């Protein structure tokens, strides 16, 4: 539905909700108001869609989770730990030559965190995309 109408998805997340019969799909799209309105109307026409909510900037609390595996030796591990402290990130696994770090925040915070880890050598990463709840 999205690509056929020229919509480019920035992030997509699907997860169960408190109601076991429903899943929440969070889609982040960028576009002009008329394009986004068209997308919302098309989504509302789908049979299995219960609700569609358009969050304008500032109307929702949004967060993203990233797991990132970074090269870390004896010399760089303490510096990586300092960066983690600044961003309130957690080291969730320590290997001989790498660490896996978990960080959450808005899109800008996650991007800044990854930017500081980049010089150490990012081996692999996984991101959830944005999750949001109305304020």
80-115 tens-digit pLDDT: 999 999 999 999 999 999 999 999 999 899 999 999
Query: Could you tell me if 130 and 66 lie in one domain?
Result: yes
pLDDT of residue 24: 87
Task: Give me the CATH number covering residue 32.
Answer: 3.30.70.260
Same domain, 65 and 96: yes
**Confidence at residue 111, expressed as pLDDT on a 0 to 100 scale:** 96
**pLDDT tens per residue across span 21-53:** 988 888 888 777 787 888 888 888 888 888 888
Task: Establish how many alpha carbons lie within 13 A of residue 123's alpha carbon, considering only the half-sphere containing its beta carbon.
Answer: 11
Q: What's the domain range around 40? A: 3-45
Task: Check whether 57 has a pLDDT greater than 80.
Answer: no
Pick from 68, 69, 124, 67: nearest CA to 96: 69
Number of folded domains that form the chain = 2
Please say if the pLDDT value at position 3 is more than 70.
Answer: no
Give the pLDDT band (50/70/90) at residue 127.
very high
Cα gap 61→39, rounded to integer Å: 22
Does some domain include residue 53? no
Residues 72, 107, single domain; the answer is yes
């Amino acid at each position: 539905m999205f690509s056929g109408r020229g919509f480019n998805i920035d992030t997509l997340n699907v997860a169960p909700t408190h109601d076991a019969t429903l899943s929440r799909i969070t889609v982040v799209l960028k576009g002009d108001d008329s394009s986004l309105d068209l997308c919302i109307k098309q989504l509302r026409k789908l049979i299995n869609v219960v609700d569609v909510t358009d969050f304008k900037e500032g109307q929702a609390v949004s967060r993203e989770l990233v797991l990132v595996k970074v090269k870390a030796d004896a010399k760089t591990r303490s510096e990586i730990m300092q960066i983690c402290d600044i961003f309130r990130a957690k080291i969730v696994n320590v290997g001989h030559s790498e660490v896996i770090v978990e960080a959450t925040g808005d899109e800008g915070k996650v991007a800044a965190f990854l930017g500081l880890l980049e010089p150490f050598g990012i081996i692999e990463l996984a991101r959830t995309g944005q999750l949001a709840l109305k304020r």
